[in-house]
Structures are given as C-alpha cells and as structure tokens.
Amino acid sequence: MRVGLFVTCLVDLMRPRIGFSALKLLEAAGCEVVVPATQTCCGQPAYNSGDRPNALALAKKVLAEFEDCDYVVAPSGSCAATIRSHYVDLAGEEAGLAERMAKLAAKTFELTDFLVNVAKLEQVPGKYAGSITYHDSCAGLRQLGIKAQPRALLAQMPGVQLREMSGAEDCCGFGGSFALKFGEISAAIAEKKCRGIAAAEADAVVLGDLGCMLNIEGKLRRMGVATRVLHVAEVLAGDAGQEER
Amino acid sequence: MQVRSMHFKARAGEKLADAKLQVNLGRSKSKFVDKRAHAILDLEDFEATREAARQLRDLTLKDLDLWLERFEQEATRRGATVLWARDGAEVCQLVIDIGRRHGVSKVTKSKSMLSEEAGLNQALEAAGIQPVETDLGEYILQINDNEPPSHIIAPVFHKSKEDVSALFARTHHLPPKTDIQELTREAREVLRPHFLSAEMGISGGNFLVAETGSVALVTNEGNGRMVTTMPGVHVVITGIEKVIPTLEDLATLMRLLPRSATGQSISNYFSLLTGTARSGETDGPAHMYFILVDGGRAAMVGGEFAEMLRCIRCGACMNHCPVYQAVGGHAYGWVYPGPMGSVLTPLFAGMENAIDLPHAATLCNQCGVVCPVKIPLPDLLRRLREKQVERHLRPWSERLALNIWSWVAQRPAWYALATKFGVRYLNWLAGGQASIPVLGLAPEWTRGRDFPAPEGKTFRELYAARRAPRREASR
C-alpha cells in the first residue's frame, strides 16, 4: 500500500528526526512510503484562529498533495484530527470538494493508530531500555480515540517499563496560539502536568504530538526536571538513543 | 450584571498569583471531577442517555415558540401568570411591579442565574424592596458586598471555610466558628426569620414542563422549598430555553443533571411546582408568576450557535476545564464562567465586550466529552473566533502573523527558504544549549517555560540530502 507521510510543520522545523523515525516504522510495516516534497502545514493554526479562507487554502493544498495516496499518516494526533474532523467542515459549498475531503479524511491516520489498526505492524523494529510515562494528547485522545494504540506498541518492547502518571489525559496547556496569547495560564496548566510527570519518576515522558512535546519539554527544563521528552515514534523506531542500559 | 470580560487576561494573572485561591481551586478534582466520573457509572447506558437528551433538547428548541405557548396555556390554566421579558431591565421592572402590586417589602431568593444576568438584587434594593439570598453560597456573597458568584452551582467555590468564618463573625457579630456544620447552623438561624417574614419568594427554574405548566427545581439545601411555598407570592425567573415537552423528558434530563453537576444520582431536594395553591391546600403560594426571559436566546434559535441553547447549566464543562481550574470563575468577568461562559458571554453581552473569552481555551475538548447534552463547545468557540475575524475584532499583529504564515505555507519554495533560515536563527539563539530561555518572538511562551531549540536543519533539507546520493547511484 502506498502511504503518504504527512511530516507536519513542527516536525519539519523542530524535530526532523521524528519524521525519519515515522518513515522507518511505516517501512517496517511493509508500506511503500511517499513524502510529497511540497507539503507544509495542515492549516490548523488558521482554522483555530477563525481564519477560514487561509485554512481552506492550505486544506486544498494538502488534498492535492495526498489525494492519490492509499493512506495519509501523520506523527501527530492534532494534525491528523484537523484533516479527519475538520476538512469536510472547511470545504463548505464548493462543488464536489466536501466529497473529496471526506475521502481524504477517511484515509488519514495518526501514526500509532495506523500501525496498530491498519498496517497491523507485527514486530516493533526498535529497542528501548528504561521506564516511561505516557501523556495522552488532547486531539489524539478525544477526537481520534488514541489511547490503547501507543501503549499496545510500547508493550511489544521488552525493555520498556510503563509507569502511568496521574492525570495522563489532562491537557498540557499548549493549545496552539493559546500558549502565545495566554502564556501565564498556559504555563500554569503545564506546571500541573509536569508535576504529574515528575511524580511518575520515569526516565522519559513519551507522547505523540509536537505541540505538547515542545510545551512539556520547555516547562520541565524551566522547572529543572531532567525527565527526557520523547515522541513515541522515536522510541518505537529505536532512535531515542537509549537502546540499552 | 456589569460585564467585565474585557479584562480577562489581567484578572487571570491576578488569580494565578493568589495562593489562597489556588488552594481552593485545587479541590475541583475531588469535589467535582472524580464524583461525576463515579456517578455516571451507575447509569446503564450513559452515552445513550446523553444522546437521547441531546435529541429531545434539539427537537424542543426547533419548535421553541410552540412549546412556550403550550407551557403558557398549561401554567395559566393552573392559576399562574406567565410574563415575558426581553432583557434584564424588563425582568427587574416586572419583579418590582409584582412586588408593589402585592405590597412586598422583603423577598427571599433561591438560586437564579437569570437574576444575576439582570442584576436584580441591586434593582430591588433601589426600589425599596429587600432581597435576601437564601442559598448558602449566594447568601455568603450577598453579605460580602454583593460579590459575584465564581461558579454556577457552587457560587463560593473560590472561598475557604476560614474566609466564610471571618465574614460571618464580622457580619453577624457572633463569636467566630470554625466548624462547617456550626457555620451552616448560624446561617440557618439568621435566615429563618427572613423565611417567616418575606411576602414574596423568587426562584430560578431548572426546567419548565410544557404538558403540566410546572417548574422543576433541583436544590441541595431545602431553602428552595421554603422560598417557593411559604410566601404568598412565588415568582419564577428563567430563560425561555428551559422548556421541555413532557414529564418523561424531565426524567431523562434528571438522570444527567445531578450526576454531571455534583456527582449525585439525585439532588437532596427535587421539587416539581405546579400552579397556585388550590382551595383546601395548605401549602403553596396564592399567586404564582413566571417571568420567561429572552436575553439574547431567541436570536440563537436556528442559528450557528443554536446548540448552546441545549445547555442545562450543570457546570461540568467548567469543572473539567484546565483554564477554569487554573484561574477560577471571576476571571471570566460575567455571570457564566468556563467554556459555557466563553460562548454565552459574547452572545448575550456583546462580542466586542468579551474579545478574549473565545480564545481562553486550549480546545482540549474535555468540556465537549463531559457535556451531558453533547454541546460541541470547542466548535462553538472556534465559530466565535471566526466571527471576530469577520468583524475585524482581532489585533492587527495577530492577523499579520497568521497571514504571513499562511502565505508562506501556500508557497513551498518560500516556505523552504523561510524555514531553512528560521531554524538556523533559532539554533543560533540557543547557542548550543538544548533550549532558549528568552525568546523575543514569543515572549508569552518564555515567561513561564523555555523554548526547546530546533535540531538545526529541517526535515525537508535532510530528506532531500538523503535522497540525493540514491538518485546519483541509480543514474
């Protein structure tokens, strides 16, 4: 099957290694992976800021780039959710567009969801040795039902000890532009989250969304907490630099 | 009530710095979140009940005018008078008129958020009628110089028992008590003479049942019973959206309301009040009035925000909201806080008076998943953001930043160039460290946390470099 990897802009800019981890995982699952070179942003910042015209322009761009793939996979719950849950709404009345958006939405998946439920990855390729705690990102959890999938994959890795934190499903306070508009409130919410992470006493907090990742890492470092912050793709692909102790 | 929502951000900052308030807000999880999670388990099929409630609310609201007329007929047939108010000012005038007609000098009040919208207490005082709040929380607020509530069902959620103890000692001139039961007893003793002497009682209404012309009241303190049955005159003030067709519908909604609100399977008191006292009945008022208020609701029927009218005012959205949990209800600046308030305040009090509120949310959708009538609160907040953009209510700097990002993101060559230099600049700022402690481009971000440094090259650069040798080799 031909899978289009939607890298997402934050991975592109901030953490390219996660894009390569996602690529490795999809190939391990037997997918033919294409990475459209012109891809940029899914339009979520514009959509969540109330700017429909700009959001629609970017949605159409994503549609043109990925329409011919069998599946679209993103290492991000919130970008996948933007395509899955909101592109049809954005399409509006334009002739035929909503139908095309609906088809795109139906074949778009968050990475761990895709690996477990579509590609049915049998053997996680990477190794990891250490304890982790898992943060459930809001869009993935509450829009796409991503909860069991990453845990099922991590459970295949003998070196991983999962220590659930209290409040794993609580928002980290990122909220996209929310963190830039209401920095103090956002940081207060992040602090609560990070206290829960620190209390789990794991080597790393693992998650599946870049926004949460930057927010949590930034807050942990400001608090002087050394817990590593890893994307689930890095751990599964064995790219976390912690293959053995 | 005066709208102070324009100052959300400044007020939120004060609330975050208030150490005592932060301790009180910390109780939200054990008081509301955990209890609700436990309480919904004993419904055989909570999700199906939610869906049924959503449908029955939508169906009623679709024909709201017809159900209101039916309610009016049935209530009138049972001796009540139904009056209509366009806004808060009309509510106040109607209540004062009723009071004057019956020679009222004192009214006891059970909880009514509509009277908060209308600023009724101040209007009554100005008209020479003494209002006495009898819900314990509302009473505490009233004697504290008419402080506004910070939560729709737990109005003094922001206060500790020590705060209340000091306030009671100061107001009642009695020795300070520390035990909550003793404080409650003291309030009862102060309120009892008011219950006995008030000529009129005012209550809100959780639901209006069209087929019987009844009002349903959900309370936990028993004050509602005394307010609605002891005085000769009972006035119900509620929004027009509270009408439901049948008692069967009431049963469906009552499975959800107390569980979602306080985690109770049923509230301590549940009253269904129908008409005036009939001859031979010893309880009940001789005169019963309903004041049904529009206050911005009618304009929402059939529109893009119609789903908000399903709201049954349980407060679950605020109890579960990370922003509400961080700053409390007063920061929101009007009657309704939390996600519910961030939708209702702009719609009821004017979009330009509450610019921050639709943005004061992470869109985590915790509110959406706990709402007992499935209101898609994040979608409604996003729609309000769209209205702000359409009406040019957003700051130019924000619009510019978004337009630049969107322009660049639609042009891959420009995007490649901009991101290539952007990540190098950030990496240079980090100076070899893992994170950037102060970032001029995002001051709000780095006030409370570091900005993690990028790796230094973009994925597209690295991916192209990785592909290039392969292409060379295959030539």
pLDDT, tens digit, for every residue of B49-82?
999 999 999 999 999 999 999 999 999 999 999 9
Residues A99 and A55 grouped into a single domain? yes
What is the model's pLDDT at position B185?
96
Average pLDDT over residues B428-445: 93
**φ and ψ at residue B56, rounded to 5 degrees:** -70, -35
Give start-end residues of each CATH 3.40.50.10420 domain in chain B: 43-299
**φ and ψ at residue B102, rounded to 5 degrees:** -105, 15
What is the model's pLDDT at position A130?
97
> Cβ atoms within 10 A of the Cβ of B48, count?
10
Residues A148 and A94 grouped into a single domain? no
Q: Is pLDDT above 90 for B452?
A: yes
- What is the DSSP code string of A161-197? EE-PPTTTTS--S-TTHHHHHSHHHHHHHHHHHHHHH
CATH number at residue A223: 3.40.50
Helix (H, G, I), strand (E, B) or coil at A4: strand
Rounded CA-CA distance A55/A51 in Å is 6
Residues in B 43-82 with any Cβ partner in A closer than 8 A: none
Q: Is pLDDT above 60 for B13?
A: yes
Domain stop point among A60, A94, A117: A117
What is the model's pLDDT at position A245?
66
The residue among B326, B462, B125 whose CA lies nearest residue A35 is: B462
Domain-located, residue A122:
no
User: What sign does the CA torsion over A13, A14, A17, A18 have?
Assistant: negative
Looking at chain A, the whole-number percentage of residues with pLDDT higher than 70 is 100
Average pLDDT over residues B179-204: 96
Query: Cβ–Cβ of B389/A219 closer than 8 Å?
Result: no
Minimal CA separation from A122 to chain B, in Å: 27
Residue A223, burial from CB neighbour count under 10 angstroms (0-12, 13-18, 19+): middle
Rg over CA atoms, chain A: 18
Residues in A 205-244 with any Cβ partner in B closer than 8 A: 213-215, 217-219, 221-222
Looking at chain B, the whole-number percentage of residues with pLDDT higher than 90 is 93
The residue among A5, A218, A1 whose CA lies nearest residue B459 is: A5
Beta carbons of B201 and B233 less than 8 angstroms apart: yes
- Predicted confidence band at B475 (pLDDT cuts at 50, 70, 90)? low
Closest chain A residue to the Cα of B378, Cα to Cα = A48
Query: Cβ–Cβ of B368/A142 closer than 8 Å?
Result: yes
Minimal CA separation from A155 to chain B, in Å: 27
Longest CA pairwise span in chain B (Å)? 103
The number of CA neighbours under 13 Å toward the Cβ of B403 is 8
What is the model's pLDDT at position B283?
83
What is the model's pLDDT at position A243?
77
DSSP designation for B285:
-
Task: Find the length of chain B.
Answer: 475
Inform me whether the C-beta atom of residue A9 falls under 8 Å from chain B C-beta atoms.
yes
Cβ-based contacts of A9 with chain B (< 8 Å)? 409, 419
CA distances (Å), origin A131, targets A77, A160, A213, B184, B334: 23, 6, 18, 50, 46
Domain stop point among A73, A95, A117: A117
Helix (H, G, I), strand (E, B) or coil at A96: coil
**Contact residues for B422 (Cβ-Cβ < 8 A; gap 6+):** A13
- What is the DSSP code string of B391-405? TT-S-HHHHHHHHHH
Number of domains in chain A: 2
Architecture of B43-299 per CATH?
3-Layer(aba) Sandwich (3.40)
Rounded CA-CA distance A71/B256 in Å is 40
Rounded CA-CA distance A84/A80 in Å is 6
Inform me whether the C-beta atom of residue B327 falls under 8 Å from chain A C-beta atoms.
yes
Domain-located, residue A194:
yes
Cβ-based contacts of B457 with chain A (< 8 Å)? 16
Helix (H, G, I), strand (E, B) or coil at A230: strand
Q: Is pLDDT above 70 for B142?
A: yes
Using one digit for the tens of pLDDT, what is the confidence trace for A75-108?
A: 999 999 999 999 999 999 899 999 999 999 999 9
Domain-located, residue A25:
yes
Domain stop point among A83, A117, A151: A117
Beta-strand pair B243-244/B435-436: unpaired
What is the model's pLDDT at position B30?
85
Domain-located, residue A110:
yes
Average pLDDT over residues B311-330: 97
Rounded CA-CA distance B475/B469 in Å is 10
Q: From the candidates B362, B403, B438, which should be mutated to test the interface with A, based on the most A CB atoms within 10 A? A: B362
Across the interface, of A143, A191, A222, the residue whose CB is closest to B450 is A222
What is the model's pLDDT at position A232?
98
What is the model's pLDDT at position B221?
93
Average pLDDT over residues B409-433: 96
What is the model's pLDDT at position B473?
58
Mean predicted lDDT score pLDDT of chain A: 97
Q: Which domain range does residue A207 map to?
A: 130-237
Cβ-based contacts of B394 with chain A (< 8 Å)? 49-50
Cβ-based contacts of A21 with chain B (< 8 Å)? none
pLDDT tens for chain A, 245 residues long, are 999 999 999 999 999 999 999 999 999 999 999 999 999 999 999 999 999 999 999 999 999 999 999 999 999 999 999 999 999 999 998 999 999 999 999 999 999 999 999 999 999 999 999 999 999 999 999 999 999 999 999 999 999 999 999 999 999 999 999 999 999 999 999 999 999 999 999 999 999 999 999 999 999 999 999 999 999 999 999 999 887 76
- Predicted confidence band at B474 (pLDDT cuts at 50, 70, 90)? low
Mean predicted lDDT score pLDDT of chain B: 95
Rounded CA-CA distance B366/B358 in Å is 15
A193's tokens: 């989250």
